[in-house]
């Protein structure tokens, strides 16, 4: 029996490319940069393996060759894929759940600590050669330990952040559609409305999924409900944030600092972020560990293979 044809839109870790070539007739790509001819290069392929920066909207999916039966995404989020359009075409979609929660939570905690303790400013000061030595008032930041952390979106990643934050003796609050069972809540305090949740958030971590329901969730109105001097971090989706509102709050001091790993329209980002000292900017590093990216590759390739074999894997979505 011939192996199915898999078109891969970006470079993958070497071990995953090797597995792809073993399990499929793999059409690998030499570049990490988004390509514009997905439809043409998918001709004759049974499956497409894409990445978060590849926009597979309804028009693109409608234009895909009839040979394509599966779209796999090298990510847990799939809001860059029009799943309804794929379903209408009879194309299944699978992703990489469960395996990146710890790595992304680590990144969120990195952003939280770096933003609170002004690590970005300090690193730039040392590199500039302008550091004159220790001083009592130099780069005074915000202590993390013992403070209140609000988590918007208490899924797997949110719960991992809560677990790590307890090591800093933080008081955990969360906002979600429904309350977790006690064994998952682990003492965290549930809020079913913004008015009780936001005012207690000395630190706010955004961990909700993307999509129309959460687009620009953190805007001017919600920012105004945060306590003055709050710290905000986002390692989930850039679309959760209204950039203009966050930038204005960072300038006014309503928000003391922010840490961002994701952006609206990335790799482009609002240019005003680059003018602010009190924001830590990372290039979407949430799942960027060797262990995690290898695990992501294995699960998405396994899901694609299972669907092509007529099975329903646990990572099928839609």
- Residue-wise pLDDT tens digits, 145-181: 999 999 999 999 999 999 999 999 999 999 999 999 9
- Give the pLDDT band of residue 2 (cuts 50, 70, 90): confident
Helix (H, G, I), strand (E, B) or coil at 251: helix
Q: Are residues 58 and 192 in the same domain?
A: no
Is residue 229 located within the same domain as residue 302? no
Pairing between strand 255-260 and 230-234? parallel
What is the rounded average pLDDT of the residues 241-250? 98
Distances (CA, A) of 238 to 17, 41, 65, 221, 235: 28, 29, 31, 18, 8
Q: Are strands 279-281 and 255-260 parallel, antiparallel or unpaired?
A: parallel
* Options 10, 147, 237, 293, the catalytic residue: 237
Nearest to 194 by CA among 184, 182, 204, 183: 204
Assess whether pLDDT exceeds 90 at residue 36.
no
Q: 247 pLDDT exceeds 90?
A: yes
Residues 93 and 198 grouped into a single domain: no
Clarify whether 191 is annotated catalytic.
Answer: no
Average pLDDT over residues 78-94: 96
Query: Kind and range of the H or E element at 262?
Result: none
CB–CB of 232/108 below 8 Å? Answer: no
pLDDT on residue 1: 62
Residue labelled with tokens 């920012």:
223
Are 30 and 95 contained in the same domain? yes
Residues 194 and 235 in one domain: yes
Asked if residues 116 and 143 have their Cβ atoms less than 8 Å apart, the reply is yes
Residues 107 and 85 in one domain: no
Same domain, 68 and 175: no
* DSSP E strands, 108-254: 148-152, 171-175, 189-191, 203-206, 230-234
Containing 303, the helix (H) or strand (E) segment is helix 290-308
pLDDT digit string (tens) for 228-238? 999 999 999 99
pLDDT at 35: 82
Return the DSSP state at 206.
Answer: E
Task: Give 81's DSSP letter.
Answer: B
Query: What is d(CA 291, CA 250) in angstroms, rounded to the nearest whole number?
Result: 35
3 state SS of 153: coil
Percent of the chain whose pLDDT exceeds 90: 94
Q: How far apart are CA 13 and CA 214, in angstroms?
A: 31
Q: Residue 222, preceding bond cis, omega within 30 degrees?
A: no
pLDDT of residue 218: 98
Question: Is the Cβ–Cβ distance between 209 and 156 less than 8 Å?
Answer: no
219-225 average pLDDT score:
98
pLDDT at 9 exceeding the cut of 70: yes
Supply 187's token pair: 């003492």
- Whether the per-residue pLDDT at 294 is higher than 70: the answer is yes
Structural domain of residue 34, as residue ranges? 5-99+290-317
Output phi, psi for 268, to 5 deg. Answer: -75, 150
Q: Does residue 198 register a pLDDT over 80?
A: yes
Report the CATH number at residue 57: 3.40.50.720
- Give the model's pLDDT for residue 254: 98
User: Looking at 11, 266, 270, 298, which residue is catalytic?
Assistant: 266
What CA–CA distance (Å, rounded) separates 217 from 210? 10
Give this prediction's pTM.
Answer: 0.92
Q: Could you report how far apart the first and last alpha carbons of the chain are, in Å? A: 29
pLDDT in tens, 104-114: 999 999 999 99
CB count in 10 Å sphere of residue 104: 25
313 is written with which tokens?
A: 């894997």
Based on the fold, state whether residues 106 and 218 are members of the same structural domain: yes
Are 143 and 250 within one domain?
A: yes
Q: Does residue 264 sit in the same domain as residue 187? A: yes
In the prediction, which pLDDT does 191 show? 98
Mean predicted lDDT score pLDDT of the chain? 96
Q: Calculate Rg over the CA atoms of the chain.
A: 21
Q: How many domains does the chain have?
A: 2
Question: How confident is residue 318, by pLDDT bands cut at 50, 70 and 90?
Answer: confident
Same domain? 71 vs 152: no
* Per-residue confidence band for 34, with pLDDT thresholds at 50, 70 and 90: confident
Given 171, 284, 298, 316, which residue is catalytic?
284
**Whether residue 266 lies in the annotated active site:** yes
The pLDDT of residue 211 is 87
- The answer to whether residues 92 and 118 belong to one domain is no
Ramachandran angles phi, psi of 77, nearest 5°: -75, 145
Q: How many CB atoms lie within 10 A of CB 230?
A: 24
């Amino acid at each position: 029996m011939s192996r199915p044809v898999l078109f891969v839109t970006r470079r993958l870790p070497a071990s995953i490319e090797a597995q792809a070539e073993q399990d499929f007739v793999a059409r690998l790509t030499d570049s990490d940069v988004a390509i514009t001819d997905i439809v043409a290069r998918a001709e004759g392929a049974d499956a497409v393996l894409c990445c978060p920066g590849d926009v597979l909207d309804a028009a693109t999916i409608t234009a895909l060759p009839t040979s394509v039966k599966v779209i796999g995404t090298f990510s847990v989020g799939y809001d860059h894929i029009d799943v309804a359009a794929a379903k209408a075409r009879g194309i299944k979609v699978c992703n990489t759940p469960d395996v990146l929660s710890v790595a992304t939570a680590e990144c969120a905690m990195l952003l939280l600590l770096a933003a609170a303790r002004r690590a970005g400013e300090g690193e730039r000061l040392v590199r500039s050669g302008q550091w004159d030595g220790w001083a009592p008032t130099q780069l005074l930041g915000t202590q993390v330990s013992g403070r209140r952390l609000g988590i918007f979106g208490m899924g797997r990643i949110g719960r991992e952040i809560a677990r790590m934050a307890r090591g800093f003796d933080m008081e955990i609050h969360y906002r979600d559609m429904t309350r977790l069972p006690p064994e998952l809540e682990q003492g965290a305090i549930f809020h079913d409305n913004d008015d009780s949740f936001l005012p207690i958030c000395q630190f706010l971590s955004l961990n909700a999924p993307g999509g129309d329901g959460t687009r620009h969730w953190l805007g001017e109105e919600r920012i105004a409900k945060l306590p003055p001097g709050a710290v905000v971090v986002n390692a989930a989706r850039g679309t959760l944030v209204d950039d203009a509102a966050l930038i204005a709050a960072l300038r006014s001091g309503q928000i003391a600092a922010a840490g961002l790993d994701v952006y609206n329209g990335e790799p482009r980002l609002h240019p005003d972020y680059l003018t602010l000292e009190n924001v830590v900017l990372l290039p979407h590093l949430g799942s960027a560990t060797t262990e995690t990216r290898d695990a992501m590759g294995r699960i998405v390739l396994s899901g694609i293979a299972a669907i092509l074999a007529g099975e329903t894997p646990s990572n099928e979505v839609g």
